[in-house]
Amino acid sequence: MSISQKVADALIRNKVEFVTTVPCKQLAGVIEIVDQDKRFLHVPANKEDEGMGLCAGAFMGGKRACIIMQNTAIGVTINTLVTLIQYYNIPLPMLISYRGEVGERVACQTEMAVHTKALLAQLNIPTYHFHKPDDVNELDGILNHAFMAKKPVAVLMDAAFWSAAR
C-alpha cells in the first residue's frame, strides 16, 4: 500500500469528511486519492488561509476537516490560525509538505524551511516531522489527539519521507 493511501486511510479512520488542499507536487498522490474518494468532500483552495476558513466552516457545520498544504505558506496563515482556529478551539490537522530541507531541488523553497518549525512553535502548535516512511504509522494518534484536544496540529512531511516511499 502506498504512503499516500496510508495517509488517506488514516483520515478515514479518524472520520475526516472535509478536506481542502492547495496544490503541491509532493502531496499530489494524497490529493488525488482524496479527490477521487467519495468519502471525502474535497474543496481545493486558492490560498492556505482561505482553506483554513473553509475547514472552520466545515467544523462549525459538524464535519471533521483537514487541510493539505505546503510549509512555504505558513507565514500567510498566522492570522487565521490565531484569530480563528485557535481562538475558537477548532481542531485542524494540517498535513504539510516540508519543502526546503536537504534534498530540495527548488532553491526558493529553502528559506521558509528555516522558519517553519519556529513559527509553529511560537504559536504553540504541536508539530510532528515525518522523515521515514514508517512515521506514517503515527498519524492515527496525531489526528485523534487533534480532534480530542480541539487544537490545530502540524504534520511536516519532508522530501525524504516521500522519496523513500516511492
Q: Which domain holds residue 75?
A: 3-164
Q: What is Dmax (Cα atoms) for the chain?
A: 41
Look at the chain and report how many structural domains it folds into. Answer: 1
| pLDDT one-digit tens code per residue, 62-112 | 999 999 999 999 999 999 999 999 999 999 999 999 998 887 788 888 888
Domain containing residue 52: CATH number: 3.40.50.970
| pLDDT one-digit tens code per residue, 16-47 | 999 999 999 899 999 999 999 999 999 999 99
Q: How far apart are the first and last CA of the chain?
A: 11
Residue 95's closest CA among 128, 118, 56, 119?
128
pTM score, whole prediction: 0.95
Q: What span, in angstroms and rounded, lies between the C-alpha atoms of 57 and 158?
A: 29
